Structure 1
């Protein structure tokens, strides 16, 4: 998750962040996140005097540098500009898998779109997307999930299978209309976590016999409850 002292992802103005080309941001290791009347707030790691001079020349304003870790810089840069050979939806999904998120919530707001990961039961805001960019993103996700991209007024469900680091992940995609557009929720099922049998789940021998007897019946229903991914 991107966070630097008093600044979080909500504070990143995407218009300001994209004022500089990706090549320039990479060259000087900077990302401008907010432009005020007399100053520009810039995130950077290992900033040089040459970079400061360039920014002062471009903006003709006071440049306020906020140092961040390289990994935070790379994460923010990738979500703003994308990764070579990777689309935005791939970045969002692979980043969620890396932090063992159980869900991805993509929520339209007034003027932007928030991306939240559910990590250890809590929703964490990790990314911010332009509303115009989200239209394309939502269509790509719905197409991959075999959902109707022309239908935005009623809820839909779909499914995507992805492979990452030689492991398979089952993504359950849901869409629902909300005030500012169409919200998407992606449930990530970690298929490698489901390689269990009854003997591995802590049941006693008598309980296992009872369960096997119940599931052999032709009629009936077994209710299983617990937290996400349990």
Structure 2
């Protein structure tokens, strides 16, 4: 931060008088972009354009930008994308092709801080936390030898969250396999009695609490079972399973909430409590029939 302030002084985008005014305020205010902008001592657009330029020059990283208060991260990311002639992707609003992850070792994703998003007939869209990292681009391109990669940028915080979610997805593959085995082996037992289903629900609840979610949506689509979480008012994709996981998952949730498992045509409401990370949480459950389940 100090170095960036010094650079702005050198480029005459900020004056020493402005900094002096900030320090002399009662009570004195910390020298930061947020305070300089809030007090009208520096133009917000000038700050954002300055930061875009420093990213292009490799002086500032996208991860560094996220630590700066008082700036519009989305606006800056969009401007950086234009300046670098790449795309900006909001990962929370983008449908991700999960099949692509099977072609990239998880360690590589973590090492280079990247995520494959979608594949077309012409190329593969990859988001990078550092769009200037040529070594990362070369390494990822080698994983897709038949098509060129298309470079995009995303907020590093979003990439982190999605990579953490991917790690959780990897850890539950065994559970999904166990659920299928239980479904195939069951005779007189109900599908919701599978212990693997309980473990899967526990992971879903822990993930939602970790993300600070207010709602969890478990729904069947035409081809899958989708788990979404509402965070900061927006529904975000959590987990995607094959559709055969929906019935045992939904049935077990109904059982936990003292709902009628056999009733699939009428809405129902219930509740249950669970201990997550040594804390007690209450969950209200509402079911709503849909075309797929």
TM category (shorter chain) comes to 0.5 to 0.7
- Which structure 1 residue ranges, 5 or more long, are not aligned? 182-230
Relative contact order: is structure 1 or structure 2 higher (C-alpha 8 Å, sep ≥ 6)? 1
How is 1:64-79 mapped onto 2 (pairs within 5 angstroms)? 64-79=150-165
- CA apart distance, 1:78: 2.7
Larger CA deviation: 88-97 vs 48-57? 88-97
How is 1:92-171 mapped onto 2 (pairs within 5 angstroms)? 92-97=204-209, 100-112=212-224, 113=226, 115-117=228-230, 119=232, 122=233, 124-127=234-237, 129-132=239-242, 135=246, 137-138=249-250, 141-142=253-254, 144-145=256-257, 152-164=264-276, 166-171=278-283
Larger CA deviation: 136-145 vs 108-117? 136-145
TM-align CA RMSD: 3.6
CA contact 2:89–2:153 (8 Å) conserved in 1: no
CA contact 2:216–2:227 (8 Å) conserved in 1: no
- CA apart distance, 1:22: 2.6
Number of residue pairs the alignment of both structures matches? 176
Partner of 2:286: 174
TM-score (norm 2): 0.47
How is 1:189-208 mapped onto 2 (pairs within 5 angstroms)? none
Partner of 2:69: none
What is the CA–CA distance in structure 2 between the aligned matches of 1:159 and 1:53, rounded to whole Å? 51
What is the CA–CA distance in structure 1 between the aligned matches of 2:231 and 2:160, rounded to whole Å? 22
1:30 and 2:117 equivalent?
no
CA contact 1:79–1:91 (8 Å) conserved in 2: no
How is 1:52-63 mapped onto 2 (pairs within 5 angstroms)? 52-60=137-145, 61-63=147-149
Larger CA deviation: 53-62 vs 124-133? 124-133
- CA apart distance, 1:32: 0.5
- CA apart distance, 1:93: 3.2
- CA apart distance, 1:19: 3.3
More strand by share: 1
Q: Which is higher, the Rg of structure 1 or of structure 2?
A: 2
Q: Deviations over 1:47-89 (max 9, x none)?
A: 6433322322221222223333433122112323417878664
What is the CA–CA distance in structure 2 between the aligned matches of 1:68 and 1:52, rounded to whole Å? 15
What is the CA–CA distance in structure 2 between the aligned matches of 1:138 and 1:54, rounded to whole Å? 41
- Structure 1's 27 and 101: CA in aligned 2 closer, same or farther, altered over 3 A? closer
Aligned to 2:94, the other structure's residue is in SS state helix
- Structure 1's 111 and 80: CA in aligned 2 closer, same or farther, altered over 3 A? farther
- Structure 1's 46 and 150: CA in aligned 2 closer, same or farther, altered over 3 A? farther
